[in-house]
Amino acid sequence: MTGWAILLDYVLVPGLLYLVASIAMNATVPQIPVWAWVIIFVAINTVINLRGIRMTISLTKALITAELVVLGLFLSVGVWALLQGKGRGFDLTPLFNPDTFSWPVVFGPVSVAVLSFLGFDGISMLVEEAKGGSAQVGRPCAWP
Give the pLDDT confidence of 30-57 residue by residue, as tens digits. 999 999 999 999 999 899 888 888 888 8
Q: Answer for the pair 53, 47: CB distance below 8 angstroms, yes or no.
A: no
Number of H helices, E strands in the chain: 5, 0
**Residue 77, pLDDT above cutoff 80:** yes
Which residue would you say has higher pLDDT here, 73 or 126? 73
Q: Residue 66 and residue 114: Cα distance in Å, rounded?
A: 25
Q: What's the longest Cα–Cα distance across the chain? A: 68
Angle among Cα 108, 109, 111 to the nearest 5 degrees reads: 70
- Check if the beta carbon of residue 34 is closer than 8 Å to that of residue 18: no
SS3 141: coil
The whole model's pTM is what? 0.59
Listing DSSP states for 47-116 in one string gives HHHHH-HHHHHHHHHHHHHHHHHHHHHHHHHHHHHHHTT-S-SS--TTT--TTT--HHHHHHHHHHHHHH
Residue 138 has pLDDT above 70, yes or no: no
